[in-house]
């Protein structure tokens, strides 16, 4: 099943758009998670189908608990290469990605662009909105006037 899915993703990325006559662009999102003392980098591709953004899970390679921006970029490149995407293909099709603040502070954009051979200005980096929302909620929880909200969040998570 996994081989079939991987094959279909590889096939999709090779198809030329009938209008532009170029391979379709895609975005990415990746984040490091730790489960049972094992750190993995969840890597997802985001494509557009009929005007809808569709996330596609690619892979979650194991990684060290403390990584540099360069090591995180290497993980992403390894995953993409396992899907048949060369550096030149990434230069042509990868348009941007969303990550959390840790990746931004580790200068993932600089390292990823160096690995791909792309100018930093050509690759759009955005702070993942789910992580921004989490930061905002944590800031609100610290304020006394929002104790009712903290109680409501605890009640909902039971």
Residue 33 belongs to a domain with what CATH number?
Answer: 3.30.420
Task: Kindly state the DSSP code that residue 118 receives in the 8-state scheme.
Answer: -
Average pLDDT, the chain: 83
Q: How confident is the model at residue 110 (pLDDT cuts 50, 70, 90)?
A: very high
Whether residue 92 sits in one domain with residue 14: yes
Whether residue 82 sits in one domain with residue 16: yes
The structure tokens listed for 85 are: 């995407």
Which domain range does residue 117 map to? Answer: 2-127
- Between CA 104 and CA 131 the distance in angstroms is 12
Q: How confident is the model at residue 114 (pLDDT cuts 50, 70, 90)?
A: very high
Q: What is the mean pLDDT of residues 85-114?
A: 89
Whether residue 66 sits in one domain with residue 34: yes
Indicate if the pLDDT at residue 111 is higher than 90. yes
Whether residue 99 sits in one domain with residue 145: no
Whether residue 142 sits in one domain with residue 70: no
- The model's pLDDT over 43-88, given as tens digits with 9 standing for 90+, comes to 999 988 888 888 888 988 888 656 788 888 998 999 999 888 888 8
Q: What is the pLDDT of residue 14?
A: 85
Whether residue 83 sits in one domain with residue 24: yes
Whether residue 43 sits in one domain with residue 73: yes
Reduced 3-state DSSP string for 44-61: EEEEEECCEEEEEEEECC
Whether residue 138 sits in one domain with residue 64: no
- Element (DSSP H or E) covering residue 124: strand 124-127
- Element (DSSP H or E) covering residue 96: strand 94-99
Q: What is the pLDDT of residue 84?
A: 84
Indicate if the pLDDT at residue 142 is higher than 90. no
Whether residue 83 sits in one domain with residue 11: yes
Angle in degrees, CA 82, 51, 95, rounded to 5: 45
Whether residue 86 sits in one domain with residue 14: yes
88: helix, coil or strand?
helix
Residue with structure tokens 């596609």? 56
Indicate if the pLDDT at residue 128 is higher than 80. no
Indicate if the pLDDT at residue 113 is higher than 90. yes
Whether residue 147 sits in one domain with residue 99: no
Whether residue 146 sits in one domain with residue 116: no
- Between CA 116 and CA 132 the distance in angstroms is 27
Q: What is the pLDDT of residue 158?
A: 66
| Total domains in the fold of the chain | 2
């Amino acid at each position: 099943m996994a081989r079939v899915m991987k094959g279909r993703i590889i096939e999709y990325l090779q198809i030329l758009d009938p209008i532009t006559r170029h391979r379709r662009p895609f975005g990415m999102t990746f984040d490091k998670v730790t489960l049972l003392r094992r750190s993995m980098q969840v890597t997802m591709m985001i494509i557009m189908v009929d005007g809808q953004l569709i996330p596609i899970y690619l892979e979650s390679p194991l990684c060290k608990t403390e990584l540099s921006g360069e090591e995180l970029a290497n993980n992403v490149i390894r995953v993409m290469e396992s899907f048949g995407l060369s550096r030149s293909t990434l230069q042509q099709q990868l348009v941007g990605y969303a990550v959390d603040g840790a990746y931004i502070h580790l200068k993932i954009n600089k390292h990823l662009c160096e690995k791909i051979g792309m100018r930093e200005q050509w690759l759009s980096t955005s702070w993942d909105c789910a992580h921004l929302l989490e930061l905002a909620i944590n800031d609100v929880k610290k304020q006394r006037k929002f104790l009712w909200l903290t109680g409501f969040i605890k009640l909902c998570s039971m």
